Amino acid sequence: MTQGDLPFDLTPEVSAESRRDAFPADSCARPDCSCAVEPQIRGGDSKRYCSRECQRRHWDETHPRIIQNPDKRMTRAERILARLREGPATGLDLLKAGGGTRYGARLLELRRQGYQIETNMGGEWPTYRLEVEA
């Protein structure tokens, strides 16, 4: 079966030549890059970069990263310790503080580091309290 036998046209709407003309063949799509680029068209992407690194840098420049929670740089144990320094806390409080669902393991890590953490099983939920810092 040839293209003439089909009831529709298979030719692309935009030719490869017109896409090559959209960007000069000797320039990278990243504005401040001075690298030469071989003309190449891949999957309809008319932007060409000299390397993956150049493409990543262009993405990073045009899409700034926003750190929503600066506390994410703290480890889970550090976040739990910061929450316990505020006062007694339940498991739900430690979970909300960013300690993760295995906050008991983080409490064990802190205890092994020398922090004295008291567990009070008196109420409906256990309550944790930092007694003396290491």
Collapsing DSSP to helix, strand or coil, 59 comes out as: helix
**Whole-angstrom distance, CA of residue 73 vs CA of residue 86:** 19
The pTM of the whole model exceeds 0.95: no
What is the rounded distance in angstroms from the CA atom of residue 4 to the CA atom of residue 109? 73
Please, how many CA atoms are within 13 Å of residue 93, restricted to the half-sphere of its CB?
Answer: 16
Taking residues 108-132, report their average pLDDT.
Answer: 91
Q: What is the pLDDT of residues 74-86, one digit of tens each?
A: 889 999 999 999 9
Confidence of residue 20 (pLDDT cuts 50, 70, 90): very low
- Residue 14's Cβ-count burial label (10 Å; 0-12, 13-18, 19+) is exposed
Predicted local confidence at residue 39, as pLDDT: 47
**Burial level of 53, CB count in 10 A (0-12/13-18/19+)?**
exposed
Q: What is the DSSP letter of 26?
A: T
Domains of the chain: 13-62 (no CATH), 70-132 (1.10.10.10)
